[in-house]
Structure 1
Amino acid sequence: MSWAAGLFVDPAPGPVLANYGLDNLRFLTPVTWDDAIRVTLTAKRITPRVTDEYGEVAWDTAITNQRDEVVATYDVLTLVSKEPRG
């Protein structure tokens, strides 16, 4: 999961402030050391916060291997800046 998380967060300052959780995690197919994985994210829910400088975004996440088999699915919960940073 940590490897997959690193595939979609740029270490440079950007809009994602923090990943604060995972929901609905399902491991569907085993992954071996020689598999190549790809992460696909789709915005599922955007919740602005009126009094804060950030909002919450839930992402529908799918990890696939080199055979396009879905190996895991989950929701990533993030805090996202309302203003560009950097």
Structure 2
Amino acid sequence: WKSVQGTDYQDEVFGRTGNQKQYNVSVSGGTKDIKYNVGFSHNDEKSIMLGSGYAKNNVNAKINANLNKWLTLDFNARMAYTKLDGLN
């Protein structure tokens, strides 16, 4: 048996160290009557299984405007993009 070259299937399937990265950034500001907030986040995960991973991006925006004493405008928007690689 010592002369037979074998395959280490654990290395073939679980060939790397898993890791995760997450980044977040947001900007906010405004005046007495108009306020805004915009944000972005990115999440990237690599699992120990080769060919598998997960990535997600989120964007959000919020605007609040006091148009006069009795009327306020609120706007909220969100967008998400997700990518999943590997076996489901």
Normalised by the size of structure 2, how large is the TM-score?
A: 0.29
Higher RCO by CA contacts (8 Å cutoff, separation 6 or greater):
1
Higher normalized strand content (fraction of residues): 2
Normalised by the size of structure 1, how large is the TM-score?
A: 0.30
Q: Tell me which structure has the larger Cα radius of gyration.
A: 2
